[in-house]
């Protein structure tokens, strides 16, 4: 039976990169796609970024593929107005997707596209494991005319489960990133990670690095890292930084997983309103997110590897979209990847 995939193109360049992704998926397997409005598009139609109906459809699917949400049209500082990002946060929470995996492995053909020197980034192969349903993103928020608060809170259980994901994913080492010299949540984080380590994964090397230092090490010595595990907001910031090791944020995919139920697969980049509608968006992070869906969401390892290798080979042939300093558009990029897929 064909896998049932809910697709959420969202806003900005979202629809432009989702459409070619379905072509790529059709080249490797049989899928039933069910598209829904999400983010700003859903606010325009229904007044909210994620309707109960769409959340229900996502829960019933085998996997959810999401492009991007947001744009100047819905940008507001008014806490009473709906925001596209609420859809994303609601979906992550609603599906229980507490583990966000962001693999950062620069493709050799792009070593010279990174703002960092080739010698720095060569052979980098790290995974950011970001806690996705806790911390300051989901704590209580207050606002008056002249003051505001966002509460950061974590429970032992929330830290234990994300720590396990990180230790299981590690080949050699886990770097737990926190701010234990200042934050109480970080001190709990560190304690719990150490406990899970000694009780369940003593064979994996564990180190603790403060988040400011980790930010520096990511650009000075990225090869130092195997798995980085960190809380929600630190993971958000560090993964954008790590994306530049691959040459462009247009290259970084992500997978969000829970203990059961469908996973959510989306590129790390946003909806890029500045280039939306021009057909020049780099679709590769979206293709690579589809590959993560094949691997982690559907258990289709060889299909996932086929998509990844088609992307690598297209880049080796010289494919460069504008974000990578080239002149090729979304259509040409898609053609190049499909050609390799159909050849293999």
Q: Is 129 in the site for ligand IPM (CB under 6 A)?
A: no
Contact call for residues 308 and 246 (beta carbons, < 8 A): no
The mark string for 219-238 relative to ligand IPM (x by CB under 6 A, - otherwise) is -----------------x--
Give, as ranges, the residues between 240 and 269 that touch ligand IPM (CB under 6 A).
268
The mark string for 38-77 relative to ligand IPM (x by CB under 6 A, - otherwise) is ----------------------------------------
Q: Which of 11, 236, 303, 323 binds Mg ion (CB under 5 A)?
A: 236
CA distance 280 to 329: 4
Q: How is residue 154 written in tokens?
A: 């974590």
Residues in contact with 191: Cβ distance below 8 Å, sequence separation at least 6, in sequence order: none
Give, as ranges, the residues between 189 and 208 that touch Mg ion (CB under 5 A).
none
The mark string for 78-97 relative to ligand IPM (x by CB under 6 A, - otherwise) is -------x--x---------
Report the partner that residue 85 touches, choosing among Mg ion, ligand IPM, none (CB closer than 5 to 8 A by kind).
ligand IPM
Give the residue with the Cβ less far from ligand IPM, 114 or 232.
232
Report the partner that residue 88 touches, choosing among ligand IPM, Mg ion, none (CB closer than 5 to 8 A by kind).
ligand IPM
| Geometric angle at alpha carbon 183, from 178 and 187, rounded to 5° | 65
Give the residue with the Cβ less far from ligand IPM, 64 or 268.
268
Give the residue with the Cβ less far from Mg ion, 51 or 256.
256
Q: How far is the CB of 281 from ligand IPM (least distance, A)?
A: 16
List of E strands, the chain: 3-10, 31-35, 63-68, 99-104, 126-131, 141-143, 148-150, 173-178, 205-210, 227-230, 253-257, 263-267
Q: How many CA atoms lie within 13 A of 274 on its CB side?
A: 3
CA distance 239 to 252: 9
CA distance 233 to 132: 9
Bridge pairing between strands 99-104 and 253-257: antiparallel
Query: 3-class SS at 86?
Result: helix
Give the residue with the Cβ less far from ligand IPM, 68 or 300.
68
CA distances from 210 to 134, 162, 213, 240, 263 (A): 19, 18, 5, 17, 30
Give the residue with the Cβ less far from Mg ion, 236 or 266.
236
Q: Is 8 in the site for ligand IPM (CB under 6 A)?
A: no
Q: How far is the CB of 88 from ligand IPM (least distance, A)?
A: 5
Q: Is 11 in the site for ligand IPM (CB under 6 A)?
A: no
303 sits in which H/E element: helix 301-316
Residues in contact with 134: Cβ distance below 8 Å, sequence separation at least 6, in sequence order: 98, 153, 154, 155, 158, 231, 232
- 35, burial (CB in 10 Å: exposed 0-12, middle 13-18, buried 19+): middle
Q: How far is the CB of 315 from ligand IPM (least distance, A)?
A: 23
The mark string for 143-182 relative to ligand IPM (x by CB under 6 A, - otherwise) is ----------------------------------------
Active-site residue set:
137, 179, 212, 236, 240
**Binding stretches for Mg ion (CB under 5 A):** 236
**Binding stretches for ligand IPM (CB under 6 A):** 85, 88, 236, 268
């Amino acid at each position: 039976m064909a896998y049932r995939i809910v697709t959420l193109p969202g806003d900005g360049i979202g629809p432009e990169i989702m459409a070619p992704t379905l072509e790529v998926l059709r080249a490797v397997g049989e899928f039933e796609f069910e598209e829904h409005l999400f983010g700003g598009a859903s606010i325009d139609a229904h007044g909210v970024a994620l309707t109960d109906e769409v959340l229900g459809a996502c829960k019933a699917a085998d996997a959810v593929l999401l492009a991007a949400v947001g744009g100047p049209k819905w940008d507001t500082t008014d806490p009473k107005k709906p925001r596209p990002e609420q859809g994303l946060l609601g979906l992550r929470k609603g599906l229980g997707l507490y583990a966000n995996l962001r693999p950062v492995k620069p493709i050799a053909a792009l070593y010279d596209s990174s703002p960092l020197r080739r010698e720095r980034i060569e052979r980098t192969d790290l995974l950011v494991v970001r806690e996705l349903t806790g911390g300051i993103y989901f704590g209580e928020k207050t606002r008056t005319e002249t003051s505001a608060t966002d509460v950061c809170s974590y429970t032992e259980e929330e830290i234990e489960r994300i720590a396990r994901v990180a230790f299981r994913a590690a080949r050699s080492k886990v770097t737990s990133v926190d701010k234990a010299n200042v934050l109480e949540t970080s001190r709990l984080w560190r304690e719990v990670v150490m406990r899970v380590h000694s009780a369940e994964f003593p064979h994996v090397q564990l180190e603790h690095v403060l988040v400011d230092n980790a930010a520096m090490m990511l650009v000075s010595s990225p090869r130092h890292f195997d798995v980085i595990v960190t809380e929600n907001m630190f993971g958000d910031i560090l993964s954008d930084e790590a994306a530049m090791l691959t040459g462009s944020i247009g290259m970084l995919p992500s997978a969000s997983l829970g203990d059961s139920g469908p996973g959510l697969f989306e590129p790390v980049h946003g909806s890029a309103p500045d280039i939306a509608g021009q057909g020049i968006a780099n679709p590769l992070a979206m293709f690579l997110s589809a590959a993560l869906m094949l691997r982690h969401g559907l258990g289709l390892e060889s299909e996932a590897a086929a998509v990844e290798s088609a992307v690598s080979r297209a880049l080796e042939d010289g494919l460069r979209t504008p974000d990578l300093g080239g002149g090729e558009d979304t259509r040409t990029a898609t053609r190049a990847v499909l050609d390799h897929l159909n050849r293999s």
